Structure 1
């Protein structure tokens, strides 16, 4: 899959991103120091210390998200856009603890998706177990952790995760891949106050004006491109 086709896939999937998973900023926990010095992937992630992910998990998230949304001439990649930070901050919300879902049994994992979430694992569990199992599989198959693999090999592993070709004890690997891809899309297009969409890059890419107070002065201009830049909830402008 080419970089452009991956980028177009992300843009095409924008309408499928559920806004309800973006938790209010007020529920974020206070930052805590990581257990070890972190392995960072870019200047943007160097400024952020993860609250949930361990060193090895943080390296995985940076590497995997960079392959899912690569940098190109259309827009910045996942890491520069702050997606790892967005995902880590989401892990400290009620959403990631499963508090927004019914989490009692029975757990019927083969039911159609339109019937709602049927798994016993919370998003925090999916990431913790999924990254550990993925790295263990990579070590066994390639002798390296995921983030240490060459880019083309990382893409191959992600495809195997998506198609359940990576055996996991706690879940299907496609569940982990789907969770990661969904959160990457959300982080790319969420308001920057949640950690992603740095410099409103995702919104600028699709021409979304953001949280402007009103559009009364543009009511009489149908089918015309909106001329003003994007605005974040906190007032930052593109």
Structure 2
């Protein structure tokens, strides 16, 4: 079974981005507020999910935006297209678990044994989202997307802490899946549907798929003067 990754401490934006920026000499400045508004406008355009239904897709937009919220550093998960990224991943061999060992027996064990459920990512999301919505209605009388941000955070915190069971799926397992894919959607190449406008890379000062940027690798914190570029050739 594939190993689970360790949890990043919340809040993700302030701890994770700050930590990564501190490890690189690259930095690119941008007008984050204007950029966030531009990406948000682009996010409401005509992408139609192919695996998730619209309510599931809206859950992913809302949840990813709480795991990776917009702030002065840049846009959040929704504007960056995390939900689109996850939806596209569900159509790949990864989403179908084609490279996973999926023979039983299936039983929960110590954390160091990793993921031990009979559900591939597609199943994990479908069952997990349904479970979260049931929990949200039980606790707050509303579906997840209709809740205030503080209530959404309370649900995500409960999932992360392991105090919620989502039917056949432990809440913490679903949280780890969602958290991991959210970060991938924020920082993966835009070719895969997330990191809209390359804004995730701009936040880090990451040059992307440029053939050569070694002249700027040891500039002692000097601003990187050329924006990032995608594998597809898209630039920020």
Tell me the TM-score normalised to structure 2 length: 0.80
Q: CA deviation at 1:101?
A: 1.4
Equivalent residue for 1:9?
15
Aligned to 1:99: 98
Measured against aligned partners, the alpha-carbon deviations of 1:134-175 in whole angstroms (never above 9, x if no partner) come to 101111221111111111111111111112222222110100
The answer to whether structure 1 residue 47 and structure 2 residue 34 are counterparts is: no
Q: Name the counterpart of 2:144.
A: 146
Aligned residues: 208
Question: In the alignment, what sits opposite 2:86?
Answer: 87
What is the correspondence of 1:167-182 to structure 2 with a 5 Å cutoff? 167-182=165-180
Unmatched 5+ stretches in structure 1: 16-40
> TM-score, with normalisation over the residues of structure 1?
0.80
SS of residue paired to 1:46: coil
Counterpart-to-counterpart distance in 2, 1:46 and 1:165: 37
1:62 and 1:56 mapped to 2: Cα distance? Answer: 10
Given that 1:45 and 1:85 are in contact with CA atoms closer than 8 Å, whether structure 2 keeps it comes out as: no
Deviation of residue 119 (structure 1)?
2.3
Q: 1:222 to 1:170 in 2, by over 3 A?
A: same
The answer for unaligned runs of 5 or more in structure 2 is: 1-9, 22-39
Match of 1:234 among 227, 232, 235: 232
1:116 deviates by 4.6
Say if 2:171 is the partner of 1:193: no
Quote the offset at 1:214 in angstroms.
Answer: 2.1
Please list, as runs of the form range in 1=range in 2, the aligned pairs for 1:128-147 lying within 5 A after superposition: 128-147=126-145
Shift of 1:217: 4.2
| Mean Cα deviation higher: 115-124 or 47-56 | 115-124
- Judged with a 3 Å threshold, the aligned counterparts in structure 2 of structure 1 residues 14 and 188 are, in CA distance, closer, same or farther, namely farther
Using the alignment, how far apart are the partners of 1:74 and 1:61 within structure 2?
A: 22
